[in-house]
Amino acid sequence: MDWSKQNSRALMFLAALVVVWAAVAALRIVPAIVLPTPASVVRAVPKMLQERLLADIGLTLARVLGALAIACVFGIPLGLYLGYRKGVYQVIESPLHALRSVPASALFPLFLIVIGVGEKSIIALAAYPSLLVILANTVSGATLANKRRLYQARLLGLDTFDTITEVLAYEALPNILDGIRTAVSYALMLVIAVEMFIGLSERGLGRSIYEYQSTYRIPETYGAIIIAGIIGILLNAVVSQMERRMLRWLPNVQED
Amino acid sequence: MSAPAPSAAPAVEVERVAFSYPARSDNGEGTLYEDFSLEVELGSRFVLMGPSGSGKSTLGRMLARIMTPQAGEVRWSPQFTHRWDVVYLDQHPINSVFPWLTVASNIKYPMKKLGWERSKRQDRMCYLMSLFRMGALADAYPASLSGGELQRLALARCLSWKPQLVILDEPFSALDRKVKAEIIAALGELAARDRMTLVLITHNVSDALALGTRCVVIGRRPVRIISDLEFRATFPREAATPDYDTMQQALIAGIRDGLV
């Protein structure tokens, strides 16, 4: 299935969802406090903009991107190095997988103790599972690198740094981008959850969802949730765009 | 045996090597090489033939010192002072190119790594691209090339930095007859110009005749040399070349011996 076809199907599905929603809300099958009409949600948006919606979106996005940046800056080089020195990886493989099994949200109290209450803790908590998933993907991409092609690196006398940056990084690139895609959803999920339930965050989209809900501003609550969803979709689209630009050289499986 | 002339100094000496793969149920015995010796003279165009699965690639990889024999020794000529003086071209050309680089960058990359000046890299790249008929493909990525184009790219890339010994494992399998004749001629020209020693692994008789100055047929297990022929006819060789029929018959007879 090609890309535009997939997109138009997704849009059709969303449109159908809105129609069902409108019908259910109009027929009063469920009370308006549980499900407001789509129109009331749309009407709520200008009000939200007059309040501090944009600042909240900006803050949430900044936290997500900060967490992803940390995850990439540490996860990718470390993953490539571990994929290159498989001996080291074998030693830390099991502890790493054990760490990945611990839900990140369960660790939040620990982060608060170690890092302290504040912005740093939110970003660190979101960075943590993002880093682990990017690390694991990068290592597996680097381990799966074409062995025969690595002969070229040895043949031409490439040092460790050049082998990693000029050969292994490309070999692992599809896996790295896959890892980033998963990390994006982890980071967004955790930032919003932390903003929502932990009062220490000044603001953010999660906080505004929570506040709208607790003051019974239900259309605004839905509006903020939908905006969070749109942010997720857009971040995903950015990763897809990166994949298409950075992996132009990959044989296109769909064409075969 | 007469004393070796200076021109007959070996490029590679394989001395009493042994190599076995872990025994598998589907191919019976794992022993491939046992007490096997071979010499490839410097400047020769050595053709290695044998049936599929006879261990040609394993021998090629031992010659390139990618694989280490479990016993015995593989010695390179003292002229080969760098690792990159000897190159092995994999039978799957995609293993010998970087798919993330364009055709032109693939050819230039090794020269860049070996410290060639930019202008020399550019000249050599242009020369190879025209020699191997790839002029229009400079900006293409390997994934978009046909099988034959990819083989030509892999060849051009591994010859770019003028290695002294080039071991080519089935390098023409995806080329059609006309292109193959051109590429073989180009390869011969290049080998003479850059004074390369060529080792060609193939199971195609006409490729062997078109390029070889010496042709060794191996077979059986453990592997041994079944026939060892020298071809002195001048290049380029075609069916009309004097002695072509004689060479062809000798080679075919040698291959047939291996099947008995």
pLDDT one-digit tens code per residue, A31-60:
888 889 999 999 999 988 888 889 999 999
Q: List CB contacts (< 8 A) between A146 and chain B.
A: 95
Q: Looking at A70-79, B11-20, B225-234, which range is the least confident one? A: B225-234
**Structural tokens at position A200:** 């220490």
pLDDT at A200 over 60: no
Site from B95, B102, B103, B109 to mutate, A interface, most A CB atoms within 10 angstroms: B95
Mean pLDDT value of segment B2-27: 73
Mean pLDDT value of segment B89-108: 96
How many residue pairs from chains A and B have C-beta atoms closer than 8 A? Answer: 47
Q: What is the pLDDT of residues A66-123, one digit of tens each?
A: 999 999 999 999 999 999 998 888 888 888 888 888 888 888 888 888 888 788 888 9
Comparing CB atoms, the residue among B95, B101, B110 nearest residue A156 is: B110
Q: List CB contacts (< 8 A) between B143 and chain A.
A: 249-252
Percentage of residues of chain A with pLDDT beyond 90: 62
**DSSP-derived 3-state class of residue B58:** helix
Q: What is the pLDDT of residue A199?
A: 63
| Percent of chain A as helix, strand, coil, to the nearest 5 | 80, 0, 20
More confident residue, A98 or A168: A168
Using the Cβ of A152 and the Cβ atoms of chain B, whether some distance falls under 8 Å is answered with yes
Q: What is the pLDDT of residue A227?
A: 93
User: Measured between alpha carbons, how far is residue B75 from residues A85, B78, B79 in Å?
Assistant: 29, 9, 11
Nearest CA in chain B to A253: B143
Residues 6+ apart with CB under 8 A from A179: A75, A133, A134, A135, A136, A137, A138
Residue in the structure block whose two tokens are 């990084």: A169
**Structural tokens at position B38:** 């071979």
Q: What is the pLDDT of residue A160?
A: 94
Cα–Cα nearest to B112, from A250, A164, A142, A152: A152
What's the pTM value of the predicted model, to 2 decimals? 0.87
A255 confidence band (pLDDT: 50, 70, 90): very low
Query: Does B141 contact A149 at a Cβ distance shorter than 8 Å?
Result: no
Instruction: Give the span between the Cα atoms of A105 and B157, in whole angstroms.
Output: 51
Query: Does B98 contact A251 at a Cβ distance shorter than 8 Å?
Result: no
B5 confidence band (pLDDT: 50, 70, 90): very low
**Structural tokens at position A136:** 């694991």
Instruction: Give the span between the Cα atoms of A113 and A177, in whole angstroms.
Output: 33
Residue in the structure block whose two tokens are 């044998």: B50
**DSSP-derived 3-state class of residue B179:** helix
**DSSP-derived 3-state class of residue B164:** coil
Mean pLDDT value of segment B91-115: 96
Instruction: Give the span between the Cα atoms of A21 and A23, in whole angstroms.
Output: 5
Q: What is the pLDDT of residue B24?
A: 62
A163 confidence band (pLDDT: 50, 70, 90): very high
Q: What is the pLDDT of residues B39-60, one digit of tens each?
A: 999 999 999 998 888 889 999 9
Query: Does A167 contact B143 at a Cβ distance shorter than 8 Å?
Result: no
Q: What is the pLDDT of residue B252?
A: 85
Minimal CA separation from B97 to chain A, in Å:
7
Q: List CB contacts (< 8 A) between B66 and chain A.
A: 151
User: Measured between alpha carbons, how far is residue B216 from residues B222, B251, B255 in Å?
Assistant: 16, 9, 10
Query: Does A249 contact B87 at a Cβ distance shorter than 8 Å?
Result: no
Cα–Cα nearest to A182, from A112, A118, A100: A100
pLDDT at A242 over 90: yes
Q: What is the pLDDT of residue A17?
A: 92
Chain mean position to CA B134? 21
Site from B100, B114, B144 to mutate, A interface, most A CB atoms within 10 angstroms: B100
Q: Where are the alpha helices (DSSP H) in chain A?
A: 3-26, 38-50, 53-84, 86-101, 108-115, 119-143, 147-155, 160-163, 169-197, 205-214, 218-246
Q: What is the pLDDT of residue B25?
A: 54
Nearest CA in chain A to B96: A149
**Structural tokens at position A181:** 């895609």
Q: What is the pLDDT of residue B159?
A: 95
Mean pLDDT value of segment B169-185: 90
Q: What is the pLDDT of residues A7-26, one digit of tens each?
A: 788 889 989 999 999 999 88
Comparing CB atoms, the residue among A148, A154, A156 nearest residue B95 is: A148
Mean pLDDT of chain B: 88
Instruction: Give the span between the Cα atoms of B33 and B220, in whole angstroms.
Output: 10
Nearest CA in chain A to B161: A156
Instruction: Give the span between the Cα atoms of B42 and A119, in whole angstroms.
Output: 69
Instruction: Give the span between the Cα atoms of A219 and A55, in whole angstroms.
Output: 19
Q: What is the pLDDT of residue A8?
A: 86
Instruction: Give the span between the Cα atoms of A119 and A201, in whole angstroms.
Output: 7
Q: List CB contacts (< 8 A) between A162 and chain B.
A: 113
pLDDT at A243 over 50: yes
Cα–Cα nearest to B47, from B185, B178, B167: B167
pLDDT at A219 over 80: yes
Single-letter code of the amino acid located at A5: K
**Structural tokens at position B143:** 């994934």
pLDDT at A252 over 80: no
Minimal CA separation from A1 to chain B, in Å:
20
Query: Does A167 contact B84 at a Cβ distance shorter than 8 Å?
Result: no
Mean pLDDT value of segment A187-207: 84
Q: What is the pLDDT of residue B30?
A: 78
Comparing CB atoms, the residue among B84, B114, B141 nearest residue A248 is: B141
Minimal CA separation from B101 to chain A, in Å:
8
More confident residue, B240 or B147: B147
**Structural tokens at position B3:** 């004393």
Q: What is the pLDDT of residue B7?
A: 56
The DSSP element (H or E) to which A108 belongs, if any, is helix A108-115
Q: What is the pLDDT of residue B27?
A: 56
Using the Cβ of A251 and the Cβ atoms of chain B, whether some distance falls under 8 Å is answered with yes
Give the ipTM of the model, two decimals please.
0.85
Among residues 166-225 of chain A, which lie with CB inside 8 Å of chain B? 167, 170, 173
Q: What is the pLDDT of residue B41?
A: 93
B45-49/B197-202 β-pairing: parallel
Q: What is the pLDDT of residue B1?
A: 38
Comparing CB atoms, the residue among B82, B88, B141 nearest residue A249 is: B141
Comparing CB atoms, the residue among B113, B141, B143 nearest residue A158 is: B113
Instruction: Give the span between the Cα atoms of A140 and A166, in whole angstroms.
Output: 17
A182 confidence band (pLDDT: 50, 70, 90): very high
Instruction: Give the span between the Cα atoms of A105 and A193, in whole angstroms.
Output: 9
Peptide bond into B236 cis (omega under 30): yes
